[in-house]
Amino acid sequence: MRDFVEGFLKFQREAFPERSELFQRLATTQNPTTLFITCSDSRVVPELLTQREPGDLFVIRNAGNIVPTHGHEPGGVTASVEYAVVALGVTDVVVCGHSDCGAMTAIANCKCLDNMPAVAAWLRYADAAKAVNAAQDFRDPRARLSALVRENVIAQIANLRTHPSIALAVQQDRLTLHGWVYDIESGDIEALDGASGSFRSLSRHPETSATPI
């Protein structure tokens, strides 16, 4: 923990003073515009990827960037989604998967998870992505995993739409849903194009992120 303590002391000494006015404003209120749902993977850092400041993102992180369908998992994800949309009034929701995802690797390889029953139960919320992926042929395991990561993003957006707060906000044009996949090695992000149903690089097609899903 020594490194963590030293990191905190550096934050207090250098980073905090540079943003003192920002933290004064955030001390009593927050007004994030985006709900960012992504994996717990240590290599995925939402604020770093999007170059956002404290207060800009309302973040949900879990294994496999999963959103349980409404009613089946009355837990932290459901409550956080509802709070972000109803109480905070976010205008955008991003579901962000990533390359080399451990959760998706376990599904793609049909890995035995008997020693992790909670993980096995949690990954059942990706069954739709698993079914679509299993019905296709791929040139190699890496291609299968890459496709599964993308299918899972699509599946979790579908799960999101079962939440009443999401369905109402989308219907009233108060909320836009986005699907992203972050590639750790290249640093690129691909966004789901609502028109074509395919993923396109934001580096080359930045307008894709504005396409309704």
The answer to the question of whether 41 is labelled as a binding residue is yes
- CA–CA gap between residue 52 and residue 49 (Å, rounded): 8
- Catalytic residue positions, numbered: 39, 41, 43, 98, 101
Is 112 annotated as belonging to a binding site? no
Q: Is 168 helix (H, G, I), strand (E, B) or coil?
A: helix
CA dist 80 and 151 (Å) reads 23
H or E segment and range at residue 34: strand 34-39
* Sequence-separated (6 or more) residues with CB below 8 Å from residue 183: 98, 99, 189, 190
Residue 56, annotated as binding a ligand:
no
* Cα–Cα distance measured from residue 198 to residue 42, given in angstroms and rounded to the nearest whole number: 27
Q: Is 110 annotated as a binding residue?
A: no
Cα gap 44→168, rounded to integer Å: 30
- Structural contact between residues 149 and 99, judged by C-beta atoms closer than 8 angstroms: yes
Binding residues for Zn(2+): 39, 41, 98, 101
